Structure 1
Amino acid sequence: MSRSDWTRVGGYGAAALCVVYGSMKLAQALGANALADKDPLPPELHERLVARDPLFVASHWMFVCVAVVGVVVALATVRPWGAAVPRRLLLGITWAAGIFMIARSFGVPGFGFVADALKLAGVVEVPAEHAALARERTCCCGRRCSCSGGRAGRRPRCGSAGFDRPRPPKPSGGLVRPRQGPCWVG
């Protein structure tokens, strides 16, 4: 592929990802709890998020607007009408957004890749309320529990319907029974 083809793929890809992100934030702003239970917030902020605190609702609307701007800027880099916008302005916006997102992924103190690596290495202690929050999650059975959740080939230990019986034997011929998500079928 030529350089202009890669540019076009990047522009449309960035616009598509902004649409997906903006759609999720729009759903949250309108009242959906899409992925709200997965948000890595301290417990007191997590409760405010789920309770639809006005600050969080306003932040969802702000991120919807940011996503719309992201779609327009991404499309302006590849569409003919984008030629009317000064190139340096587009480059400045795209580079600033890219640098901001990379810096955000590395994180401010306590968040991001660096903080996660330090916590996993044992350099930084995980607060007790955060550790309890990580252990208590929604299981594959649909309940909040502290079971294994079917990770790494283990079956949930929550004793919900269908999980209190032994694992089905493998059929002969080397075939493995199908799995449905993290839970065993059958």
Structure 2
Amino acid sequence: MYKFNLTLFVALLFSFCTKAQNSPTISSVKFGDLKLLFPIDSVNKYLDNKITLTQLKGENTSVSDTVYTTYKGFTVRLVINSYLDYMSTKLTTELASIYCDDSKIKTKSGIKIGDNKYDLIKKLEGSYLTINPNPDKRKGYSIVSLYDGTSGFQLIFYFKDNVLYAIECDSQEFFGCSKFIDNPVIFNQMDNC
């Protein structure tokens, strides 16, 4: 009986450590293998469950879909933008945002769920940050946005009572910064947050 319990404990410990080691990191341009601006076919290659999107109908030339799915066992919220080009002939779908609140995720610099807002601000001193109350939530909720001047994208940190509870990478450009990512070499160089 004792031997069985020890074996079970070691197996559970190994399983936990393996998942922690395989936890994807999140940056301003990607979460693990999922990169912002990926087309939907590339996104689906990495998801545990494939997603389908709303079809453009009538006079709509663009639509955003918010989808909850799993990636490597982590629940993620993805925003996929679909739009027709200026001639309304070619449909483009691309990953616009990745949100995750799993306690095992972290950034390359080690920022993780559960961190204190003021420690995060100290760690990111010298970076372009904005700090705002979260308009979608009640008192005690706030957002810290880290802007990546290379990509024009942002990493958004969500706080409740000054404790980090979720991280999102978002392709929304800021201050009119416009980068078109056609060259994979340039895209890979942007992953520096």
Shorter-chain TM-score bucket reads under 0.3
Question: Counting helix residues as a fraction of each chain, which structure ranks higher?
Answer: 1
Q: Greater strand share, 1 or 2? A: 2
Relative to the length of structure 2, the TM-score reads: 0.23
TM-score, normalisation: structure 1: 0.24
Larger radius of gyration: 1
Higher relative contact order, chain-length normalized (CA < 8 Å, sep 6+) = 2
